[in-house]
Chain A
């Protein structure tokens, strides 16, 4: 910050003003400019939306969308109160009965967010459990990589909408239970997420593992490290930065894919919310869908930031600029 230390002739006052000036510049570029951009965006949105007439009425502007944010929150509160009241009634009515009935009210927006997060986490963790070991193997064996590469390249660009019918049929055929503990719609969505977010992790892990410095490999050869020790002590740590790049890309894709998968699979998450509102066609629907769009974007951003924090913790290269 104090680059002005070289200007030896300036009095302390001048230095102070200069530092204060730099702070101001930082403040402006760090906070003011993004805020201005958001305000400008909201303004343009408000103005533009007025000129779009849809079959569900005028496209809602920021004010109307904000109104729906509050409405959705109130609905959530009301539903929770109804639920609490239900359980209380049940408790009062049949104290003797051991097995109570579950409340079957409709899921609120918050419930749907939670469902989506659980679904994407399941799919993503499943994908990582497959992709990281596979990536390590592909990185260590050029032969395996040659074998896998065409498959990876072909399956990588397949849309979740293409996977979903297949997944649905396979799950229906294999997962036959009269009273399934895990809903099929959840499985379908999670597996579709898995299928779509495998690839960046495989590819990046492969590249990371294959790119281990030759000198470090020579060190491990001189030390005669065993295969497992070599993987754990040398290969994995040096592949971690790229592996995380892959994981972050995968999670981003997974979240994006999830919404589409939920729409089709009718998994009660954000995707289903958007679909139901679209089918519902009330005058509030468009504003509610826009709330969902913003929430989806914001959660995606938070997921990425969470991965970044995790990466900073795990990475040995503290000097690297991670963004």
Chain B
């Protein structure tokens, strides 16, 4: 049961972390490119931003997800990292509780 909760917590944390990373990467791409016309990609070519100048002078914007694979891989990596993080945290917390109990017995 405890392991299942660790996995669920890790999935939630990884989901939020992936979303934050994607937003951060997208904003970085926006700020970094200036007013250049053309297609740009970021996050291992997962996200793209394309601005095309039309004949009448107006600019057409296109953006979104081009490739889901890097996002899924990053999500999986985050899940593993968070599982390891939560497991280490639980181990240290158990050890701390054990030491406290021993001190109390003394």
Q: Do the two chains belong together in a single complex?
A: no
B-to-A contact residues, CB < 8 Å: none
Which A positions have Cβ atoms within 8 angstroms of B? none
